[in-house]
Amino acid sequence: MLKRIIVLLALITLVLPIYSQIVMQPITSSVYEFLDEMAQMKYIEINSSVKPYSRIFIAKKLVEIEKHAEELNKRQKKELDFYFKDFNKELKAKGDFEKRKDMFFYKDSLFTLTVNPILGLEYGTNSAGNYLHRWNGGEFYGYVGKHLGFSGSLRDNGISEILTAPEYLTYDQGGNFKINQGQTAARSDYSETYGAIYYSTDWMRLGFAKNNFTWGDNYHGANIRSNKAPSVGYIDFNLAPVKWFELNYTHSWLVSEIIDSNRIYLYNNEEREVFVNKNRAANLFTFKPLKNLHVSIGNSIIYADDGVKPFYLIPFMFYKSVDHTYNSAGSNALGQNSQMFLNISSRQIKHFHLYTSLFIDEISLGNMFDSENSSNILSVKAGFKLNNFPIRNTYFVAEYTRTNPWTYRHQIKSTTYESNDYNLGHYLGENAQEIYLEGGVRIFRGLKTSLSYTLAEKGSEHNYELIQGNGNVRGLSFLETVVWKNQTIEGAVKYEIINDGYLFARVRVSDIIGDDKYTPTIFRGTQTTISGGINFGF
């Protein structure tokens, strides 16, 4: 059935009119901060609740910004010229512009290809020890004709100590670590590979990807769909037929990390272990009732155990109701795990971005304010960002996140809101809160200096055996006992010398106390950590 659906979708797309081609820009690119700044100056309009953006989308936004060139300050003009060196590849023929430095670039009337290395090194030290992280690999992307885009990358990582394990409460992305045999230290290696192929027109895209993506406006960790977990494979569909509406849909193949004992078999006298399958279908409908105001609503479902269900491939369904049809609404054994979410983003006031996002696992409107009987299993984030006010070339971020007990959890392990044991939502998980403040100055093109403060608190995680089912999750106290606390002040400097090539340095003064399982050994207690490094590519 799945093969037939894929063939049908492919046939449909072949007869659609051809207008543009798609390659997604990695969300770690500095161009996202530039577009965000320009949107707050009201030179462009963006839907920042869904990332990454495509390279052609970014290129067109740079053209819109260029129309306001007389209003840009000196640093912003140089930033614009800097990004045009890269994204003019999507707009102009080879040789018609000053290009960025690439290891290999080719373009003709039919075929475009860019190839670059990935190289990087970070070293950090404090009184508890030191760590070293190196990465190397390569990346490529290109286009065939006017409608087909493709991309791929491989990054091999070597680390002296695991700092981003699933249980660690850190903002940084994790990995599927492989402990080296015979190593006495905590050294581990892991690799991360991305790839995608897209068909697109001016009003839609359809692709298969293995990538990182985020849903929900944020500047320090999304609470709807974050990028903390290793990348997963997914179907990516976007539909934007009018200026005031956009639909985003993904169907992801997650990694359950649960052995399916019924599928274990012997081969050459060795056991072949197979994971229980685990999938996520999600949609997000974005409406623009007013200029620079975006309101997004959506829902998702984590389902497992019996393969891909075709009805979860329908982009506009309310998946909880589908689950009630195919699995008894009162059956914990067969029911799946559904969620709803809301995101509001406003850039209607110049210099100012106001946003909030809400992730709902379960909510009881009738008992919402009843502390003993409420079942408000949700995560809420609210914040704002100021750019170029009151002083130009500066910015300030203030963000608060609260996640109630049992959010992102589920009584059936195969349908938790996780992949590779990493939470797909906010990095702190359930029963936690965070205050995040950041201010910075961009003195000249490519140089960013920042100072941030983080206050994060984690409460005890509730035991399912004591709760006895999602239906009994009522009146759980928020942060009744704080079992982990992190207060960190961090100063950082980053200088992008050439496109995707930069130097960075950080000084972090942290006080992390409480349950040691949430913190790498090197960061426990009061520490002053100095780190720095160099990077080229993504």
The domains located in the chain, with CATH, are 2-536 (2.40.160.130)
Distance spanning both ends of the chain, measured CA to CA: 37
- CA-nearest of 420, 429, 417 to 462 is 429
Name the pTM for this structure: 0.91
Strand partners, 214: 51
Please say if the pLDDT value at position 239 is more than 50.
yes
The three-state secondary structure class of 427 is coil
| pLDDT for 3 | 57
Measured CA distances, 114 to 19, 155, 429 (Å): 21, 17, 39
Which residues neighbour 78 within 8 Å (Cβ) at sequence distance 6 or greater?
444, 445
pLDDT range class, residue 132, cuts 50, 70, 90: very high
The three-state secondary structure class of 6 is helix
pLDDT range class, residue 355, cuts 50, 70, 90: very high
pLDDT tens profile 23-33? 999 999 999 99
For helices 74-87 and 31-40, give the axis angle rounded to 10 degrees.
130
pLDDT range class, residue 309, cuts 50, 70, 90: very high
For the chain, what is the total number of helices (H) and then of strands (E)?
6, 26
The dihedral built from the CA positions of residue 283, 284, 287 and 288, taken in this order, carries a sign that is negative
Helix (H) or strand (E) holding 274: none
| pLDDT for 266 | 82
Q: How many residues does the chain have?
A: 538
**% pLDDT > 70, the chain:** 89
Beta strands in 404-524 (DSSP E): 418-419, 422-423, 432-441, 447-459, 482-498, 501-514
Euclidean distance between CA atoms 250 and 188, whole angstroms = 31
Q: What is the mean pLDDT of residues 512-534?
A: 97
**Rg of the chain taking only CA atoms, in angstroms:** 23
Euclidean distance between CA atoms 74 and 442, whole angstroms = 11
More confident residue, 386 or 325: 386
Contact between 311 and 261 (Cβ < 8 Å): no
The DSSP code for 54 is B
- CA-nearest of 120, 98, 95 to 108 is 95
Please say if the pLDDT value at position 129 is more than 90.
yes
The dihedral built from the CA positions of residue 349, 350, 351 and 353, taken in this order, carries a sign that is positive
Whether omega for the bond prior to residue 390 falls within 30 degrees of 0, making it cis, is: yes
Helix (H) or strand (E) holding 375: none
More confident residue, 402 or 179: 402
| pLDDT for 475 | 67
